[in-house]
Amino acid sequence: MPNDCSNSQSWDSKDLEIIHRVLRGDVNCYEVLLDRHKAHVATIVSNHVPREQVEEVAHDVFVNAYLSLATFKNKTTFRLWLSAIAVRTCYNYWRKIYRSRELPLSSLEDEDQDWLNNVISDQSQETIEEDVDKKNAQALLGWALDQLSPEERMVLELIHLEGCSVREAAALLGWSSANVKVRAYRSRKKILKILQSLPKGHGR
Amino acid sequence: MMDSFTELEQRFYPLLRKAYQGRKPVPVGEEWKRSVLRHIRSLEPFSGQPSLWELFGNVVWRFAPVTCALILMVCVGTASIDFVPEYEMAKVYLDNPVEFSLLRSLGI
């Protein structure tokens, strides 16, 4: 039931107005922020966590954002601020998983490994591009990312797969640029090493 | 088989990137929205004033650089005057073994 919270012009100023109202105790206004940004948050979260966990992590993102709302400074847009919370919540999700190993790591089926062997064998780049089988590629990606630490995983996804700059990734993760740079370099090397060693029979 | 990392990288990264970008966002529904709002309403409302703990945290961190500088100065000072507490205590004790008292040795 979005109420009279929705009656000003630009999104940013409207967000700010709603935030002030929520901070003054009008919790129902938070629904407007939720409606406006839920698709954006779901997109970010879907990129970083398994599909079946997206709803739960997105739920945590909005609860964390609500709890930190008083710290929101008008230096950036609410959307950007929320994006950083979403990325950090995904990172925390992976940290928790790696610590407790609640979920089994994704495994690479024989079919995926055969596909990988074809890719790695001496085919021309064009043939490979044509042969891209989404399912196999995604299975390989999921498997390879599971071999990385949460830090390496997040940096690799943000920088090498999404194409964020070091600065953007550092802002989203709340780390220093130097830290992100070092981790990006290491994760890139590590994932290639993992993929290189796979055809010798390390599929799981 | 490919040997060099660069060749491997050129072959794999476009594939991985394609796979990554092919991930479809999971839509979040009305039931999900209701559960988030239910959770938020169950939390304590904002008091409007920062808590005492938050105020304390804000003040304490402002002193962090000064504290670090002081610790550094004390370390450098201690190293340069060659002060070893054990030797000093032993010296005080040996000088006055009968009426030795820690408080008196500190001049209290």
pLDDT along chain A (204 residues), means of 10: 48 85 89 94 94 95 92 87 96 90 58 62 52 69 88 93 93 93 92 74 44
Interface of A with B in 80-139 (CB under 8 A): 119-122, 125, 128-129, 132, 134, 137-138
Predicted local distance difference test score (pLDDT) of residue A112: 61
Q: Is it the case that residue B83 has pLDDT exceeding 80?
A: no
When pLDDT is averaged across residues B49-78 and rounded to a whole number, the result is: 83
- Chain B partners within 8 Å of A161 (Cβ): 16-17, 20-21
Question: CB–CB of A61/A93 below 8 Å?
Answer: no
Predicted local distance difference test score (pLDDT) of residue A7: 46
- Chain A partners within 8 Å of B2 (Cβ): 120, 196
Predicted local distance difference test score (pLDDT) of residue A102: 52
Predicted local distance difference test score (pLDDT) of residue A105: 53
Nearest to A157 among B9, B20, B35 (CB): B20
Predicted local distance difference test score (pLDDT) of residue B5: 63
Predicted local distance difference test score (pLDDT) of residue A174: 92
pTM of this structure: 0.70
The conformation of residue B82, written as its DSSP 8-state character, comes to: T
Predicted local distance difference test score (pLDDT) of residue A110: 63
Interface test with A, best of B8, B16, B24, B33 (most A CBs within 10 A): B16
Predicted local distance difference test score (pLDDT) of residue A122: 53
Q: How confident is the model at residue B1 (pLDDT cuts 50, 70, 90)?
A: very low
When pLDDT is averaged across residues B64-84 and rounded to a whole number, the result is: 87
Closest listed residue to residue A198, CA positions, set A132, A133, A147: A147
Report ipTM (2 d.p.).
0.74
Alpha-carbon dihedral B39, A52, A72, B65, rounded to 10 degrees: 110
Give me B107's structure tokens: 């001049």
